[in-house]
Amino acid sequence: MKLKYLVCACALTSMSAMANDNIASNAVVTENEEAVETAVVESPEPEYSVVDGEFGGSSLSNNETLMAGTPTDGHRLEEWSKAQKPTVKFGGYIIGKYAWENPENSANAGGGFNLRLVRLYVDGYVFKDFKYRLQLEVNKTPHIKDATLEWVHWKQFSVKAGQFKRAFTFEDPYNPFDVGVGDYSQLVKKLSGFSDRTAAEYNGSNGGRDLGIQVQGDLFPSKKDQHAQLHYQLAVYNGQGINVTDADKKKDFIGTVQYVPIKNLYIGAFGWKGTYTANGVTVNRNRFDFGVKYESDWTVRAEYARSYGHKISDYVDGVLTKNKGNYTADAFYATLGIPCKKWLKAYVKYDLYRDFADTDNMNSIYSAALNFKFTKNLFFQAQYNYVDKKVVDTHTGYSQLWAEMYVRF
């Protein structure tokens, strides 16, 4: 009997121990499950950062990161969609002008009002690193000025394609709001594809633009303030101007290298090798330019350019008949901007163009302008010019008065 009770006691003790083990085991499993659940909650999903443009700190480039794998879960798909959403910014500007002049023995003496420029634009991003821009000129004969797509992932190397300003001269890329005086220099207008000397009658509205592709970048950041010490641009263009096809199927090559010893000071050299075709005639358009610019409260900008190549008008019925031995032109300008008040800046400028790079044919313009800037989007400008023209033995001089209104929205 005693043996029977002893066996029962042992059995009960064993069962109790097993029960305790199961409880402990269940407690451990429960703890682990809670730990796993907590870890899942605290572990963040890969997020898209607009700062570094990457998912989850990936070392891949922006486009490689975005295209790596197919987004299958909802969060990843949402971020993928956000990265592809385009941005849109609309804007425009108006420049109105009153001009008066008194050239001797000219029907143009007197003054009048005109709309110098009215432009509308839209720009933004179509995809993470891809910027677009479309600009229209809507006064005079409406037409497209700029239409570009640009990949801007790296400051050291970006790519732009479409219709845009040529990479020739410092002043050409300037917005009219930033030039400081009421018009671009003769160097830019005659030798950078505005009303170009090669064939002004055929390409007068190009505004220094062409169709092509360009790479550019900023290299070697300064240890002191991180400004890039070298800027470069290399481009290939049709050479025919805007909104037209390539007439001669040849290409223009333009490039610049600019040294930046201190912030805002650029010392640059530009080169252009190309051709232009019109009226069944193709002429060379080979040019170089050297310049310096400093833009801050003070402005200092100066350039010299030289062009080699005949004009289309030198040919009659496809035969060179004019200026056979003279196909060189040059130009120089110097601009100084002087800060007077926060709302007032004065500019003085000397502007020279020589159609045959000699003293027998030269046009000099001496300018002084006051810019009254109320905001960055509204200012008024008053300017006086003295124009000194010399064509062979004819020498004339006259004054001009300009008043311009700049509105940007």
Q: For 141-176, what is each residue's pLDDT tens digit?
A: 899 999 999 999 999 999 999 999 999 999 999 999
Residue 203 pLDDT grade (very low, low, confident, very high; cuts 50, 70, 90): low
More confident residue, 179 or 6: 179
Residue 260 pLDDT grade (very low, low, confident, very high; cuts 50, 70, 90): very high
Contact 168, 158 (CB under 8 A): no
The bridge status of strand 89-101 relative to strand 158-165 is unpaired
Query: Would you call 2 helix, strand, or coil by DSSP?
Result: helix
Q: What is the predicted pLDDT for the residue at 323?
A: 86
Q: Which CATH architecture has domain 89-408?
A: Beta Barrel (2.40)
- Measured between alpha carbons, how far is 253 from 212 in angstroms, rounded to an integer? 10
Does the pLDDT at position 3 exceed 60? no
The pTM (predicted TM-score) of the whole model is 0.79
Question: What would the mean pLDDT of 7-36 be, rounded to a whole number?
Answer: 39
| pLDDT tens string 361-370 | 999 999 999 9
- Residue 270 CB partners (closer than 8 Å, separation 6+): 167, 168, 169, 254, 255, 256, 287, 288, 289, 290, 291, 305
Does the pLDDT at position 247 exceed 70? yes
- Measured between alpha carbons, how far is 401 from 385 in angstroms, rounded to an integer? 6
Beta strands in 63-157 (DSSP E): 89-101, 110-127, 130-137, 143-151
Q: Is 264 left (phi over 0), alpha (psi -120 to 50) or beta?
A: left
Does the pLDDT at position 101 exceed 60? yes
Contact 279, 177 (CB under 8 A): no
| pLDDT tens string 350-361 | 999 999 999 889
Contact 310, 327 (CB under 8 A): yes
- Measured between alpha carbons, how far is 103 from 82 in angstroms, rounded to an integer? 61
Two tokens at 381?
Answer: 């400008």
- Measured between alpha carbons, how far is 136 from 123 in angstroms, rounded to an integer? 12
Does the pLDDT at position 69 exceed 90? no
Q: What is the predicted pLDDT for the residue at 199?
A: 86
**Which of 21-25, 27-31, 67-71, 285-289 has the largest mean confidence?**
285-289
Q: How many whole angstroms from its chain centre is CA 115? A: 25
Does the pLDDT at position 28 exceed 50? no
Does the pLDDT at position 78 exceed 80? no
Q: What is the predicted pLDDT for the residue at 21?
A: 45
Residue 393 pLDDT grade (very low, low, confident, very high; cuts 50, 70, 90): confident
Residue where the block lists tokens 């163009």: 353
The rounded percent of the chain whose pLDDT value lies above 90 is 66
Does the pLDDT at position 394 exceed 70? yes
The phi, psi pair for 342, rounded to 5°, reads -60, -30
Q: What is the predicted pLDDT for the residue at 40?
A: 36
Q: What is the predicted pLDDT for the residue at 279?
A: 87
Q: What is the predicted pLDDT for the residue at 205?
A: 74
Q: Residue 179 has what DSSP assignment?
A: S
The full set of domain ranges for the chain reads 1-43, 47-85, 89-408
